[in-house]
Amino acid sequence: MDTLFTFLAGIRCWDVADILLISYILFRLYALFRGTLVFGILMGIAVLWFVLLPITLSTGMVLTSQVFQGITAAAALIIIVVFRTEIRSLLLAKNLKSFFWGFPRMRLNTPVEVIVESVYELAKKRTGALIVLMGNEDPEEVVHSGISWRGQVSKEMILSIFWRDNPVHDGAIIIQDDQIRDVGVILPLSQSKDLPSRYGTRHRAAAGLAEATDALVIVVSEERGTVSVAKGTEMKGVTGRDQLLQTVREHLGIPENEEGGKKRGRLELSIAGLVFLICVSFYWYIIAKGEATVKIFEEIPVEYVNSEPGMEIIGSVNSLRVELSGSARLIRQMSEDQVNVSIDLDKVTEAEKTIKITRKNMSLPPGVRLQSVTPEEVEVVLDRMVRKVLPIQVNWVGKLPENLRLLDAKVTPRQIALTEGSRVINEISTIYTEKISLDQIEKSGTITAKLDISPASLKMDSGSRTTVDIDLKVADRIR
Amino acid sequence: MKFKFFTFFLLLIYLALNFSSQAFAQDQEEATPVESPQELTLVRAVMCEGLRGLGPLNEAVAFSIEREEVFCFLNFDPVPEKTPIRISWFWKDERRRNPKFILKPPRWSTLDSMQLRDADKGPWRVEVRDAEGNILKTLRFSITD
């Protein structure tokens, strides 16, 4: 019980927001795509990723797990390419409210009774007809030709389209909502070998479209005057008006009892929402809390930011030892690059300041917690950069011949400008050349020598020379 | 009588004026030669091996440790008033000696020296400062093998 309370107390408001957001996204995907092939494929991929793949990994089925990983990796691209039409129509939603909050309404406006009456009128007159009632998918990708009609559905209209002498009677009509959208549409033929031989081209066309989309296709046979419906991979005969009415209503999602239908719809969505919430919470627990593990990084670099212009950091800690904890899954995948430590020097005005390292100084991946950091405090020493002009002096070594003396040595240039922190440069009065031996000097002349700029942190002005010319004068020594 | 008195009076005034102008001219003549600044002036400063006569011997900028001693020769002219100076000896930037000398008018020469040891090899500088601490001259030299 104590463990449970501790666990519940450790849940942050951001964790709750995390769970609710993902649950809502999944719920919206379900609400927008339910009943369509897209949703089916998404569910299949989810089962593959969350169920089958972990099983293959844990049982050591290397080849199978590789294949599953490849499929899921390519799944996103495949879904976008294959279902681009559905995704496009979704993204072209009339307003954001319907995208984020609306539910696709079934075609309650479709005059089902009119369609059924028309079908049986055509059957009675032995007039062949193909009537396509769209589902959520637009069949325009799989059909050919077709003439845009956009006429109101009425019995007279349907009868006149399929009248033998009408130029467009040969193709199918596509009904969307309460409109006949297209006429004279050529449907793809089914390649299935299971269709009975009595079915002709008209029936094969109906079966072909039903297999390729989620549409319901009503076929009126010209030879026998019978009515059949094709949906998915099924083709079945319809015995009467009531059966056809019920079939069409089911396809369009129109309940007989409208109020009861709405209640069922709401219940279905509520259950779906609850299921997603539970699943996401469970998955969050596995990632965020399951099997906590500790990982230590010995040298995480420290970044100092926002120091005052002209100030330089001359003494501080450059790296820290950091101990992190989190779920085993998260910690195992972590690398040093994901841990960043930065110290803000914005309000630091003193030359020396001790700064305590806390969680606020760190950027960690979500779900990872800071256990400890060593050292816990960092001493930062700031210094103002100062430019100083210093004289140059020759550093002579060795010995001239006994009879000679070095009367003078003029250095060009005589001075050099250097920049360094004030603490360092204020201690320096002279810059020396490299050691120059007197052993080989026998007469006056000019030599060139390098400067020995020490400490190495001293910065020269750009373009400054690193060598000097020495004009030396040698004279006899008076004994 | 009045004429004589008046004449005598004029003569007196004339003589008085004459003497005063001559005295003024003399003052001018005496003041003119004092054109040199009334401040301490260092006219010569060298590092050398010793003295010969009243001047430096073998001035140089590099001295062998075998010499055992090195000298700093300074000549001030003029010295307006009795005044102290400091001669600071630096090995690299480390001050090793800082003796004080008193200069007396009208002119003065000073010789400061330092014994040399093996640890004294390297670059040196000598700074000559006046009573206010102003650097009058910096001499740079090296002690070598």
| Tens-digit pLDDT profile for residues A71-98 | 877 887 877 887 777 677 667 655 666 6
- With beta carbons under 8 A apart, name residues in chain A contacting B59: 405, 407
Helix axes A84-91, A62-82, angle to 10 degrees: 50
Q: How far is CA A143 from CA A131, A187, A193, in A?
A: 13, 5, 21
- Residue A428 is predicted with a pLDDT of 92
Comparing alpha-carbon positions, the chain B residue that sits nearest to A406 is B60
Tell whether B144 lies on the interface with A, counting CB pairs under 8 A: yes
Chain A contacts to B (CB-CB under 8 A): 391, 393-400, 405-409, 427-430, 432, 438, 477-478
Question: How much is the pLDDT for B64?
Answer: 94
Report the gap between the CA of A313 and the closest CA in chain B (Å): 25
Give the range among A215-219, A258-262, B77-81 with minimum mean pLDDT: A258-262
Q: pLDDT value at position B26?
A: 45
Residue with more model confidence, A222 or A265: A222
pLDDT digits (tens, 9 = 90+) for A301-347: 998 888 877 777 776 788 889 999 887 777 877 888 888 899 888 87
**Per-chain mean pLDDT for chain A:** 84
Q: What is the pLDDT of residue B25?
A: 43
Chain A residues with CB-CB distance to B90 below 8 A: 429
State whether A395 and B142 contact (CB < 8 Å).
yes
Q: Do A397 and B92 touch (CB under 8 A)?
A: no
Size of interface A-B (CB pairs under 8 A): 59
Q: What is the mean pLDDT of residues A402-410?
A: 93
Total Cβ atoms within 10 A of residue B87: 21
From chain B, the residues in CB contact with A390 under 8 A are none
Distance CA B97, CA B111 (A): 14
Q: Which of B60, B66, B144 sits opposite A397 (nearest CB)?
A: B144
Give the mean pLDDT of chain B.
Answer: 84
The total number of residues shown for chain B amounts to: 145
Of chain A, the percentage scoring pLDDT greater than 90 comes to: 28
pLDDT at B30: 45
Pair A454, A475: CB distance under 8 Å? no
pLDDT at A415 over 90: yes
B58 touches chain A (CB under 8 A): yes
pLDDT digits (tens, 9 = 90+) for A14-31: 888 988 998 888 888 888
Between A354 and B26, residue with greater pLDDT = A354
Which residues of chain A have a CB within 8 Å of the CB of B123? Answer: 393-396, 430, 432
Q: What is the mean pLDDT of residues A47-54?
A: 80
Q: A292 pLDDT exceeds 70? A: no
Q: Which residues of A241-274 are buried (b: 16+ CB within 10 A; e: fewer)?
A: eeebbebbbebbbbbeeeeebeeeeeeeeeeebe
User: Contact B125/A395, CB-based, under 8 Å?
Assistant: no
Distance from CA of A463 to the nearest CA of B (A): 27
Least CB–CB distance from A398: residue in B58, B122, B145: B145
pLDDT tens track for A92-131? 655 666 667 666 554 445 688 899 999 999 999 999 999 9
CA distance B135 to B91: 17
Question: What average pLDDT does this structure show over A139-158?
Answer: 88
**pTM greater than the 0.90 cutoff:** no
